[in-house]
Amino acid sequence: MRSAPHEVPKPFPQRLLVAGLLALLVSACATTGSNPPPAPAQARGEPAAGGEATGQAASPTPGSPRAELPPVDLDGRMLFGIVSSEIALQRGELRYAYTELMRLARETRDPRLARRATEVALGSRALPQALDAAALWHEISPGDPEAETSHASMLLIAGRYDEARPLLEHQLAASANPAGLLDQLGRMLAKGKDPGAGLDLLEALAKKIPADPSTTFNTELVLARSARDAGKAERAAAHARAALALRPDSEAAAVGIANALADGEGPSAHEGRAEAISLLDGFLARHEDANDARLARARALVAESRIEQARAGFEELLRHKPDSPDAHFALGALALDAERYAEARPHFERYLELAASDPEREPDLAYLNLARVAEGEHRYEDALAWLHKVKSPGQAGNAREREAFVLAHLDRVDEGMRLLEAMPLAGDEDRTRVVLAQAQILRDAHRYQQSFDLLEGALKDHPDDTSLLYESAMSAERLDRIEIMEKRLRRVLALAPEAAHAYNALGYTLADRNIRLQEAYDLIRRALTLAPDDGFIVDSLGWVQFRLGRLDAARESLQRAYRLKADPDVAAHLGEVLWALGDRAAARELLLDASRRDGESDTLRETLGRLKIQP
């Protein structure tokens, strides 16, 4: 059984609805003969002599054809139905209102009643009923473009693409801008039930568009973006290449190819991103002012973990375009990841200033990142204030999760755990995410056994979940259960051979325990090939070099690691190497500065104590 509409739509005041609908119906109900005289222009909602439309019912798109209004006898039964349906809307009795409007529309064949029923169903998000009403509206007024558009849209929302296709072909044939209409359809289908099937439909529709260089170029760009939205990187690249062949200097086409290549997955992902960067390098050499290409290149460098080059790319973009919100956000994010909080903060603040004048940019991601900045600076109340600003449903879960970590920093661990337990869960993926957050909070609070046990329970249901395996290995390491740790990390690598942090975690653990050092070195070098600019992995390299007695190489690696990641553990390792090299003044200064910024690191505290340096 279909559900009835359940919410009162309020496009305009109910009294005006009743009055306007009745007035228009009266004009069409004057006679009951088979060939009534046409209604006056004013009564049909068409332009009057002065050029203004009268009447309350919405009319079709200006200039479009519409069906003649049917002869209707406005008897008591019909009048009662119209008035009672509108009163029912006002009272929130949606089932009755919708049913009555549909009955009247079927009896009278009046398109305005079918349209009103469509509005009622759409206003209450009752999509099956809206489709029925839109189909009736289109059946009554087959020449009304608005009715056809509504019917086609509802078929697309329902995933009934084959039924929608002839309607869409008709609309494209009548459109003065078919590529623009295809673009609108693509954006709608990207949010549909099956983006892949939506892309198939778009490509089929595109073949019906008359070929000319301008239209074909725009159509190929639309298809490239739609293919990318549908997760079809190869098809996106093919369409963008077709556009670039038509216009070799098109920045949009070059960026389209690069983005598609950078989106690739699997064994060829690295090659795709390398090709994207090379393509954009060539394009920028010919077009210095191509800032969209510059942005795409920097993003591809991030995807390749070439962080230092990516940062330089975003900084160059900012020199060319000082008010680029994308550049400010990216530089803030890179500084935050490097734990350079004072550097990150102004970028996110500037992003919020720029986003305030752009309704398409939501501020919530910046709020989340400013909370991370405040958390990193131990300003925990400020962090909570930023998190409480997050309102969008898509980011609310992230905000509550981060709030649990901040509460843990405030020694309110159990309160943070309860906050996570109370989060709504949509399925196994959400449950795993909550378990991972809880396990990390417990581990940070030195409750290692609780963390390990929690993850053990989750692994019973999902034994091959690489995130659970990795986090379980980290908790096992804290319990000095190295065999379990190694077994789990090697299982991660068997399931995900490109998991750089699993190689690094195993290599670092061996190096930190001063065992199997050559194996540790080889594991860490493998991790670096996968993530060459990861600060923690570069730190691991420096630490294993120190264990191997290669002090100069260790100092060079650790200095680079500290530039990439200003983390207290990295500072502890660099300080240790400087101390071993005899540069004790520099070691003391570095370690004390790190302690002032973040004295919570176990590694840093242990290093200070062993070297007898007083904070």
pLDDT of residue 364: 96
pLDDT of residue 305: 85
Which tens digits make up the pLDDT trace of 85-110? Answer: 777 777 777 777 888 888 888 988 88
* Structure-token pair, residue 247: 């216009």
Answer yes or no: is 37 within a domain: yes
Of 539, 478, 546, 470, residue with least CA distance to 501 = 470
pLDDT of residue 268: 75
Mean pLDDT of 601-607: 91
Could you list the residue range(s) of the whole structural domain that residue 19 is in?
A: 1-141
Q: Give the Cα-Cα-Cα angle 13, 18, 20 (nearest 5 degrees).
A: 90
Which tens digits make up the pLDDT trace of 264-276? Answer: 776 678 888 999 9
Which tens digits make up the pLDDT trace of 64-87? Answer: 444 556 665 556 666 766 777 777
Q: Please check whether residue 262 is in contact with residue 273, taking contact to mean a CB–CB distance below 8 angstroms.
A: yes
Q: Kindly write down the DSSP assignment for every residue of 37-86, as one continuous string.
A: PPPPTTTTT-B-TTS-B-SSS---STT---PPPPP----HHHHHHHHHHH
Which tens digits make up the pLDDT trace of 219-268? Answer: 999 999 999 988 898 899 999 999 999 999 999 999 999 999 888 776 67
pLDDT higher than threshold 80 for residue 458: yes
Q: Give the Cα-Cα-Cα angle 216, 217, 219 (nearest 5 degrees).
A: 60
Answer yes or no: is 310 within a domain: no
Q: Give the Cα-Cα-Cα angle 329, 254, 173 (nearest 5 degrees).
A: 105
Of 530, 559, 566, 531, residue with least CA distance to 545 = 559
Which tens digits make up the pLDDT trace of 138-182? Answer: 999 998 889 998 998 898 888 899 999 999 989 888 888 888 888
Which tens digits make up the pLDDT trace of 351-370? Answer: 999 999 998 898 999 999 99
Which tens digits make up the pLDDT trace of 33-50? Answer: 333 323 322 233 333 323
pLDDT of residue 291: 96
Mean pLDDT of 453-477: 96
Answer yes or no: is 356 within a domain: no
Answer yes or no: is 130 within a domain: yes
Burial class (CB in 10 A: 0-12, 13-18, 19+), 401: buried
Which tens digits make up the pLDDT trace of 509-555? Answer: 999 999 999 999 999 999 999 999 999 999 999 999 999 999 999 99
Answer yes or no: is 107 within a domain: yes
Which tens digits make up the pLDDT trace of 357-407? Answer: 998 898 999 999 999 999 999 999 999 999 999 999 889 999 999 999 999
* Structure-token pair, residue 57: 């019912």
Distance CA 356, CA 419 (A): 31
Distance CA 38, CA 80 (A): 25
Helix (H) or strand (E) segment spanning residue 382:
helix 380-387
Answer yes or no: is 454 within a domain: no
Of 190, 211, 216, 217, residue with least CA distance to 201 = 190
pLDDT of residue 540: 97
When comparing pLDDT for 263 and 414, which is higher?
414
Answer yes or no: is 367 within a domain: no
pLDDT of residue 8: 31
Indicate the pTM of the whole model.
0.73
- Give CA separation, 28 vs 100, 142, 143, 495, in Å: 19, 19, 19, 71
Distance CA 182, CA 212 (A): 15
Helix (H) or strand (E) segment spanning residue 494:
helix 482-495
Answer yes or no: is 591 within a domain: no
Per the structure, the count of domains in the chain is 1
In the chain, the percentage of residues whose pLDDT exceeds 90 is: 61
pLDDT higher than threshold 70 for residue 430: yes
Burial class (CB in 10 A: 0-12, 13-18, 19+), 251: buried
pLDDT higher than threshold 80 for residue 209: yes
pLDDT of residue 165: 92
